[in-house]
Structure 1
Amino acid sequence: MASSFLNLTSSSLVHPQMASETDEVVKEFRFFKVYKDGRVELFRPPVEKIPPSDDPNTGVRSKDVVISSDSPVSARIFLPRISDPGRKLPLLFYIHGGGFCMQSPFSHRHHNFASTVAAEAGAIAVSVEYGLFPARPIPACYEDSWAALRWVAGHADGDGPDPWLNEHADFGRVFIGGNSAGGNISHTLAARVGSMGLAAGVRVVGVILVHPYFGGTEDDHMWLYMCPANGGLSDPRLKPAKEDLARLGCEKVLVFVAEKDHLREVAIGYCEELKKSGWRGSVELVEHVGVEHSFHLADPEYEKAVELKDKFVSFIKHN
């Protein structure tokens, strides 16, 4: 069911608990601090969310949909200009970053990136709004994204609830991609596709990980705190398991790293482990020197940001 503009999963700055009797901080991580009474304070304010729109410059139309009336999961769908109504379009399932506690597909940065990719790749894109810590701790991000991917796959036979997906999506050319935390979630989804499958007729061709977050940095304990029911530092969502890598449910993987990103080494390690796992697909690593984490979203007009975007688009167009 479509709506004009959704604001369903905005993470508050302070965890909804009783008023604090003390301002003593007991834990402090990269993105938030925890007070003795259990309150969580994010270091960055909630992002401004923009409504869906019809872009007169690119011809991309966007709208918001509710994945299920029984859950808070929603998504924004981007439909590029249709030049040939009889031709089906590749489908990008996009997952935004933000440390599992920030950002949204409805923010300027992620809306604009998904819209640009849809326009230039000639692809229909679905960008999911998943639950964020602290309002909805991990594993909400994984479960919400999986529910949204299954909802999208439910259109493969042409009679799903959304007409854009029914009429225009080519479910034989599905791509899963995301940046930072979204890259981590993208891997987990691909592992689930490999072990559990999706609806008949759905083929995940490729997965695109932009500066993905995996275990092996100072942020490990932040992730463990955000995920109360965790498997420790060996949790396969934090440190991808060999068996998950071996059965990754796609044919190709494209990984971007940035030279000055503290997540660079773990992303390179992911590529190396994937190659050794026995997985039969192909993996490509692209590095941009002299830049930091998620630089392409901070300044989309920057030369190297354009290079990243062009490679992202090319991976969809030519596979």
Structure 2
Amino acid sequence: MSSTPKKEIVSLVPDFIHVYNDGTIERLNDMPKVTPSPQDLETNVSSKDILFSNEPSLFARLYLPKLTDQNQKIPILVYFHGGAFCCESTFASHHHKYCNIIASQGNVLIFSIEYRKAPEHFLPTQYNDCWDGLNWVASHNTTIENVPENSDPWIINHGDFNKVFIGGDSSGANIVHNIAMRAGVTRIPNGVKIFGAYMNHTFFWGSKPLGFEKVEKFEKVNEFATLLWKFVYPRAPFGIDDPNVNPLGPMSPNLALLGCSKMLVTVAGKDRFRDRAVLYYEAVKRSHWNGEVEFFEEEDEDHCYYMVHPESDKGKKLIKVVADFLHQ
């Protein structure tokens, strides 16, 4: 008589995800998902979910702030949520609340992409899903007769295609960098260009300390960062020095190729990835990129503190920095 095999973990990222020998996956810190709202009670922002791709099936949540003029055109933010490429969702309660606040304070139309996750879908799937989402938004910049069959009236009626932004947090900020680099060498449909890009608390890493990074701190973080990257991108050509995660490495293309006009980089002083993001900001400034880059730091806070406490004084401060950037 055969016995049922004991359920055991076969791979994991500590504090993020467990994969078991029976094929089940446990995402440890995922927040509950919430439905969109015709009008959020706190911000007056409207939201809805759409299917923007059939093959593969890809969804997004759209956010539209309350408009004083129904013919008003406002900037578009294509948003990439965080979650280490393997967790969380654009429909999660904290991301939904954050997007409501940003849409309201930034007065932007947000297209927040529910990209696929590892280990069901390894990188570069996440990059490709987000690139496809940006291109779908850009497909609306045309005559009414030529818009796609699954077009959205909010984007058609209210999107300002001269002010298209991309933005993200943590791994989502990593996606922002990679989408901006791709936009520097690959044309976005219908003449759309990325006007601005913001990157909050970006996940970047590499095999060796750089610049002012202290060896002791680097070694403490290196085990986790390398494990995470191997989990989400096991076939990365250069491992943890792949250009997608190490834009300052020897195999990485010149940052002058960034395909946007403005950039905002924010960091937190207690964030384990803080130093690498600062070095990235300084490298962008030194490059021959023909754009403007801004920097903001909250010294006594940790990774993505504003997601957990958006209504705290420091959370409001960071959100205002992002909203001001989107007002440009």
TM-score, with structure 2 as normaliser: 0.85
**How many Å apart are 1:165 and its aligned residue?**
0.4
For 1:313 and 1:24, locate their aligned partners in 2 and report how far apart those are by CA, in whole Å.
42
Contact 2:7-2:22 within 8 A present in 1 as well: no
**How many Å apart are 1:28 and its aligned residue?**
5.1
Find 1:65's aligned residue among 36, 47, 50: 50
Task: State the one-letter code of the partner of 2:263.
Answer: V
**How many Å apart are 1:239 and its aligned residue?**
0.9
Change (3 A) 1:303 1:71: same
Q: Is the deviation greater in 135-144 or in 235-244?
A: 235-244
**How many Å apart are 1:23 and its aligned residue?**
3.1
TM-score, with structure 1 as normaliser: 0.87
| Correspondence 1:222 to 2:228 | yes
**How many Å apart are 1:236 and its aligned residue?**
1.1
Q: Secondary structure at the match of 1:208?
A: strand
Spell out, residue by residue over 1:286-310, the C-alpha distance to the aligned partner (whole angstroms, 9 max, x if none).
1001111010010111111000000
| Correspondence 1:193 to 2:199 | no
**How many Å apart are 1:103 and its aligned residue?**
1.1
- Runs of 5+ consecutive residues of structure 1 not aligned to the other structure: 1-18
Spell out, residue by residue over 1:51-107, the C-alpha distance to the aligned partner (whole angstroms, 9 max, x if none).
110224432111101111111211000011121233310011111001111111111
Contact 1:171-1:201 within 8 A present in 2 as well: no
**How many Å apart are 1:29 and its aligned residue?**
4.2
For 2:202 and 2:95, locate their aligned partners in 1 and report how far apart those are by CA, in whole Å.
16
Change (3 A) 1:55 1:33: closer
Contact 1:80-1:118 within 8 A present in 2 as well: yes
Change (3 A) 1:23 1:99: same
Would you say how many aligned residue pairs link Structure 1 and Structure 2? 299
Alignment of 1:34-49 (within 5 A): 37=21, 41-42=25-26, 44-49=28-33
Contact 2:127-2:175 within 8 A present in 1 as well: yes
Q: Secondary structure at the match of 2:84?
A: coil
Contact 2:71-2:157 within 8 A present in 1 as well: no
- Runs of 5+ consecutive residues of structure 2 not aligned to the other structure: 207-220
For 1:29 and 1:244, locate their aligned partners in 2 and report how far apart those are by CA, in whole Å.
33
Q: Give the structure 2 partner of residue 50 of structure 1.
A: 34
| Correspondence 1:91 to 2:76 | yes
Change (3 A) 1:43 1:87: closer
Change (3 A) 1:20 1:98: farther
Q: Give the structure 1 partner of residue 284 of structure 2.
A: 274
Q: Secondary structure at the match of 1:174?
A: strand
For 1:117 and 1:27, locate their aligned partners in 2 and report how far apart those are by CA, in whole Å.
33
Task: State the one-letter code of the partner of 2:244.
Answer: R
Alignment of 1:235-274 (within 5 A): 235-240=242-247, 242-274=252-284
Change (3 A) 1:34 1:121: closer
Q: Secondary structure at the match of 2:185?
A: helix
Find 1:139's aligned residue among 124, 133, 137: 124
Change (3 A) 1:26 1:84: closer
For 2:324 and 2:24, locate their aligned partners in 1 and report how far apart those are by CA, in whole Å.
41
For 1:118 and 1:249, locate their aligned partners in 2 and report how far apart those are by CA, in whole Å.
23
Q: Give the structure 2 partner of residue 300 of structure 1.
A: 310
Identity value in percent: 35
Change (3 A) 1:61 1:299: same
**How many Å apart are 1:25 and its aligned residue?**
5.4
| Correspondence 1:288 to 2:298 | yes
Change (3 A) 1:69 1:25: closer
Q: Which runs of 4+ in 1 moved over 6 A?
A: none
Task: State the one-letter code of the partner of 2:201.
Answer: H
